Amino acid sequence: MSFKAFDLANDVASLVSSINEVVSISSSIYSNDSNTKFFTNIASASAGSDLGGYWQTTFDASPTSSLSTALLDMTYGYATGSAFNLLITSTSSQNEKIKIYRQFASVLLGDPDSTFTINSTSQTECFFISIKRSLQKDEIKKGATLLILNQNSSQVSASDEGASVQFKQTVGGDYAPLKYNGTGSEIGQIWYNAGVIILSDNLAYPASVTWSGTKTLLESQSSSSINQNVDGLRRHIEKINFHNQTNLYSTVFFCRAGNSEFNYSSNPSFVDSNKRIRVTSGSNILTTRSYITTVGLYDANDNLLACAKVNKPITKSPDNEAIFRIRLDY
Amino acid sequence: MGFIDNSGELFIDAVLTDEGRERLARNDGSFSVVRFRFGDDEIDYRFWNELTGSDSKDRKILDTPIYEAFTNETVALRYPLVTIRNSRLQFLPVMIAKPTAITLKEQTDSVGGGVDVTVSQEIARAQTILPAEIIDVNYSVEMDNDLVFIAGELPVSVTPFGTGRYVLPAAPGRQTSAGGTECKFSVRVQTLTVETFDVLVGATVVKPRTITTTIVVTGQQSGMVARIPVSIVEFAVS
């Protein structure tokens, strides 16, 4: 016989493992406009494209290049109860900012009317950086996120140091605070499953910091479009470092070749023209042997569903046994 | 105190075959791995060198480079290893096909006609019988489903590449001189078009043109294989 059935209780196991990649995005990629795609506000497009869209997408090259890859979506929003929720100018994207905030609050906090609490304070105005799925993979690895922020004349770092054991679990997935230099006060949050970084405007940056153009951050929040707010954000983040994570769900099949099994081959070269077995005929090695190069996994109807190869021929003879652990990833 | 030899245990990544991916995509529970077998497709046993020392007789075999895994299930594992409890056999059973090659005529061997084929388990040495564990109960027959088919049978599966696979029971009441079984079936030609010959043979080739293909018969218990070349002759009106 050539097939051997698995003992499903003892020969098949499931396991979960993960693969991490280190991602480092520097400001040279996103600080200027050439790698950024701007979206027109669909609802207000007829009123003029200068109203801006809901978000900006940062690419690793020109968005018009077929070789470029989208990295991040950046946007800004405030809650209904924000002090900035006043129609100051016709270009302040008031409705869009509220929609954005409520959308993130709904997904991450489970309630669009909720507000994000950072440093024990309800933060009604926030910047949101969404990492693209192709970059984030399945989730962000906990405890490996670092942002370098440019303030007026200095830089500060914000990281989730220690988050691998101190993260919090909520309806929106796991998250941890981003703290000044890893251990200081909280200035933002990193949501690992959603791949979202939230920065509180007044905690991450002083209100007087020069934002986009000649405006201060405070002035920008009062009267600028989302696009203009995000323009400033892109120029005030020096670096974004994190590790992405791909979760592998695997089934391991233990293919056991006992000492008396699989010692002959149907390979045409196994026998000579007289059908004599080459490895035993005329030899002082009287017992048969074969050389395993391939493992096939089959269903009950003998359909080959998966195939694995070894990196060198494995000798199989009656005086040895072999166990092949075949891993099938999903 | 020495170290335990761990060379017998390996960790290998498997790839899904086209058939496996298709069954997974069906989402109907038809993807279910329940058995396995080993193969040695790359190995050429003619490199077994009887004239050297015991430790180096298989040196060239062990140096054989191994291909990466194929995803086409028809070529991914062609030569399975076989379990026979007696480890000191000197002759191996063989599959004998009669006829050894088939010629089918497009006109007469499609709807009716056809060629009857018998594949039987034999052993090269006279007065030797087959080990009971490799007497085949069922046979797997694979052929190009776009060109030929088995009369009166339906393939259990047809791969995306068009390979039809039939599972046929051994002919009841038949026993070969070696104590093995036989498989009988009748091969016919599918309905072909001029374009089929144009593509597979060439539009400028003198008629009648001939398409060649191969039928592979595998004993499900023994893993032994018989390959039957098939020629399909075009029906050409002059």
State the DSSP H helix or E strand holding residue B61, giving kind and residue range, or none if neither. Answer: helix B59-62
Chain A residues inside the 8 Å CB shell of B167: 301-302
Residue type, B132: A
Which of B46, B70, B82, B141 is best to mutate for the A interface (most A CBs within 10 A)?
B82
Planar angle of CA B24, B25, B26, nearest 5 degrees: 90
Chain B residues inside the 8 Å CB shell of A4: 35-37, 83
* Contact criterion met (CB below 8 Å) for B11 and A325: yes
Instruction: Kindly tell me if the per-residue pLDDT of B170 is higher than 50.
Output: yes
Give the gap in angstroms from C-alpha B113 to the nearest C-alpha of chain A.
30
Share of chain A above pLDDT 90, in %: 53
* Contact criterion met (CB below 8 Å) for B159 and B71: no
* Contact criterion met (CB below 8 Å) for B120 and B164: no
Instruction: Look at the alpha carbons of A149, A154, A160, A161 in this order and tell me if their dihedral is positive or negative.
Output: positive
Contact B13 A266 (CB under 8 A): no
Lowest mean pLDDT among A129-138, A139-148, B124-133, B136-145: B124-133
Nearest residue in A to B19, CA atom: A305
Residue type, A157: S
Instruction: Walk along chain A (330 residues) and give the pLDDT tens digit of each residue.
Output: 788 999 988 999 998 889 999 999 988 888 878 888 876 654 444 444 444 578 888 998 888 888 999 999 999 999 999 988 876 666 677 888 999 999 999 999 999 999 999 999 999 999 999 999 999 999 999 999 999 998 878 889 999 998 988 899 999 999 999 999 888 899 999 999 999 999 998 888 888 888 877 888 988 888 888 888 898 999 899 999 999 999 989 999 999 999 989 999 989 899 888 888 888 766 666 788 899 999 999 998 888 999 999 888 999 999 899 999 999 988
Contact B88 A288 (CB under 8 A): yes
- Measured distance CA(A104)–CA(A221) in Å, rounded: 18
Within A144-227, strands assigned E span: 146-150, 155-159, 168-170, 173-180, 186-191, 196-200
> Where residue B53 falls among pLDDT bands split at 50, 70, 90?
confident
Contact A271 B19 (CB under 8 A): no
Among B residues 30-59, those touching chain A with beta carbons less than 8 Å apart: 30-46, 48, 50, 54, 57-58
* Contact criterion met (CB below 8 Å) for A157 and A93: no
- Point out which residues pair with A326 in neighbouring strands: A253, B12
Helices (H), chain A: 27-30, 94-104, 133-136, 163-166, 201-204, 217-223, 226-235
A vs B: CB pairs below 8 A: 290
Between B61, B77, B92, which is nearest A291 by CB? B61
Chain B residues inside the 8 Å CB shell of A303: 19-20, 23, 73, 157, 165
Chain B residues inside the 8 Å CB shell of A328: 13-14, 16, 33
Contact A304 B20 (CB under 8 A): yes
Which of B33, B157, B158 is best to mutate for the A interface (most A CBs within 10 A)?
B33
Query: What pLDDT is recorded for position A253?
Result: 94
Take residue B23 and report the two structure tokens written for it.
Answer: 């069954």
* Contact criterion met (CB below 8 Å) for A254 and A10: yes
- Measured distance CA(B128)–CA(B85) in Å, rounded: 16
Contact A307 B13 (CB under 8 A): no
Contact B58 A291 (CB under 8 A): yes
3-state secondary structure of A126: strand
Instruction: Look at the alpha carbons of A131, A134, A136, A137 in this order and tell me if their dihedral is positive or negative.
Output: positive
Nearest residue in B to A326, CA atom: B12
Nearest residue in A to B165, CA atom: A303
Contact A263 B87 (CB under 8 A): yes
Chain A residues inside the 8 Å CB shell of B140: 302
Contact A303 B19 (CB under 8 A): yes
Contact B167 A314 (CB under 8 A): no
Other Cβ atoms less than 10 A from the Cβ of B53: the count is 8
Give the gap in angstroms from C-alpha B189 to the nearest C-alpha of chain A.
25
Query: What pLDDT is recorded for position A197?
Result: 97
- Measured distance CA(B124)–CA(A231) in Å, rounded: 83
What is the ipTM for the molecules in this complex? 0.74
> Which own/partner pairs from B57-62 qualify as long-range (CB within 8 Å, at least 24 positions apart)?
B57/A279, B57/A283, B57/A285, B58/A279, B58/A289, B58/A291, B58/A315, B61/A291, B61/A313, B62/A291, B62/A312, B62/A313, B62/A315
Write b or e for each residue in B79-95: b if 16 or more Cβ atoms lie within 10 A of its Cβ, otherwise e.
Answer: bbbbbbeebebbbbbbb
Give the gap in angstroms from C-alpha B144 to the nearest C-alpha of chain A.
16
Planar angle of CA A200, A203, A208, nearest 5 degrees: 110
- Measured distance CA(B17)–CA(B23) in Å, rounded: 10
Mean pLDDT, all residues of chain B: 86
Within B40-160, strands assigned E span: 81-82, 93-98, 102-105, 115-123, 138-144, 148-150, 157-158
Query: What pLDDT is recorded for position A50?
Result: 42
- Measured distance CA(B81)–CA(B212) in Å, rounded: 28
- Measured distance CA(B5)–CA(A87) in Å, rounded: 76
* Contact criterion met (CB below 8 Å) for B143 and B216: yes
Chain A residues inside the 8 Å CB shell of B67: 309
Chain B residues inside the 8 Å CB shell of A287: 87-88
